[in-house]
Amino acid sequence: MRVVALFCLAAIVLSSDRVIAEVDFERILHAAEEPHNWLTYNGGYSSQRYSKLKQITRRNVDKLELKWILQNQVFGAWQSNPIIVDGIMYLTERPNDVMAVDAVTGRVFWIYRHTPAANTQVCCGANNRGVAVLGDKVYSGTLDGSLIALDRINGKLLWSVEVGDVNLAYSVTMAPIAVKDKIIVGVGGGEYGIRGYVVAYDAASGEQAWKFYTIPGPGEPGHDTWQGDDWEHGGAPVWITGSFDPALNLTYWGVGNPGPDWNAGQRPGDNLYSDSVVALDADSGELKWHFQFTPNDGYDYDSVQVPVLVDRDWQGKPAKLMLWANRNGYFYVLDRVTGKFLLGKPFVKVNWSSGLDENGRPIPTPQPDGMPTWPGNQGGTNWYPPSYSPRTDLFYFSAWEDYATIYQAIEQEYVPGGLFLGGGFSVKVPVHGAPTIGIGRTWPINYWTDEVGHASLMAMDPDTGQAVWKYEQFDVSDSGMLTTASDLLFTGGREGYLHALDARNGKLLWKVALGGQIVMAPVTYMVAGVQFVTVISGNAMATFALQD
């Protein structure tokens, strides 16, 4: 059922000098040239989450003040990433609505309300991470497995297509990405025995353009990494937005865990292309290369982290690189033209592997039954977006340190639409005094707390894979990163603080308590000569600018 509430955007056109212009592919392609906007999920196709804005500086950041707050109407960890176009903000709110908001005042212009089907299942909450904008349309995935296109002016539904079967627990929780004349999305459902894929649709009509399965079928390269019919329900979801290199015409996507999650022995083989990055031709969806981080994963080390694309020297020669802090505890540098492994170093304690070979393949060291595995089930880091600053040449991300899990594998039969987990686990809790991890509490979980982990914001040197500096946090962090041309780094934490750090050395310059867990990265934009920073904390979006 869908209900649409409309508030005419014409009011904003008549009352100000802001004009609603189309966002064509060329604009997104050159997003860095209009830093006053935030035109795609990670700010640009390279996913660096770096802004050239510099009105807010290291010297005046302590003069930031709250300008407006927007409350979500449904309780829960709000994970949307706003898109800002010429003073108008487009974003999703829980559980599955889309809205257009005045980026200066927080006034809501229109809301499109989508009520997911009653049998919708998502493993980790009703999280929709945002929209894509292209032309005169706004695009959003739905928790019950559809892609919708809305009119940017009034929020009217223009078309809707089924991406995956809700009866089999397919969902779309990621923000779509617009590339050329296509809208590309991936599917969630890795805990329910889906067969994952990335799929592209014509932006105008919604007609399917191509589809790439993240588990190869019979006769396809990589199919022999599965046994029997394991591939049919092998997971490998794609639930975080990818990146795009226009010069190579390649889109890059991180692929999630195989299924069942915690019983690797039930699905022998490397289980391609789970826990991999895949490079796909943007026009055809053809696989050009892949790199698998964790073969035959039994730890739920989804590789859905954001592929960050950087052009810089490597060993004295210009190179096209991909930087990746992986959930499995290793930091990687890859050649994004070929997928060649260039560097891999652990950034947290790792004992599931003794290291990586010359091709980047891990050397497995599975722990005895009843003994902890580092990093734990949520990984050394997770899906929250990192940032790369070309000014500092550092890669920034949140890490969970001193955090481990004891796994218990259980043979499980696949049931359509049901959880397909293959066991349970116990957690060395990475927070002070409270358990944090679960997917509906439907399998055996126990918590043990003899030691306590914590979060570190790491600034990584891509040449060495070593942290140049760390900013220690009391709690673990699910927050992503934002860097700016004034050498500021904005991030959050589970304890509800928004932090501004000196990106060069990690010095804390300013922080404010917002009261709710920050589970997305901040973004920045400018309207009428004023730079804003906005972040979602708990159930509310808070937007700051310098004092008048």
Amino acid at 257: N
By DSSP bridging, strand 423-428 and strand 445-448 are parallel
**What are residue 291's DSSP bridge partners?**
277
Q: Tokens 């000014």 appear where?
A: 391
Cα–chain-centroid distance for residue 84? 18
**What are residue 392's DSSP bridge partners?**
none
Amino acid at 458: M
**Gyration radius (Cα) of the chain, Å:** 22
DSSP-assigned letters across all residues of 187-236? -B-GGGT-B-EEEEEETTT--EEEEEESS--TTSTTGGGS-TTGGGG-B-
CA distances from 297 to 369, 383, 523, 545 (A): 16, 17, 33, 44
Q: Is residue 475 annotated as part of the catalytic site, yes or no?
A: no
Q: Kindly give, in sequence order, each residue whose CB lies less than 8 Å from that of residue 229, ignoring residues fewer than 6 positions away.
A: none
Q: Are 200 and 182 in contact (CB under 8 A)?
A: yes
Nearest to 285 by CA among 341, 206, 201, 223: 201
Query: How many Cα atoms occupy the beta-carbon half-sphere of 38 within 13 Å?
Result: 33
DSSP-assigned letters across all residues of 278-341? EEEETTT--EEEEEESSTT-SS-----S--EEEEEEETTEEEEEEEEE-TTSEEEEEETTT--E
Amino acid at 357: D
Which listed residue (300, 302, 478, 502) is catalytic?
Answer: 300
Measured distance CA(405)–CA(376) in Å, rounded: 4
Q: Are 91 and 80 in contact (CB under 8 A)?
A: yes
Measured distance CA(222)–CA(213) in Å, rounded: 11
**What are residue 282's DSSP bridge partners?**
none
| Catalytic machinery residues | 300
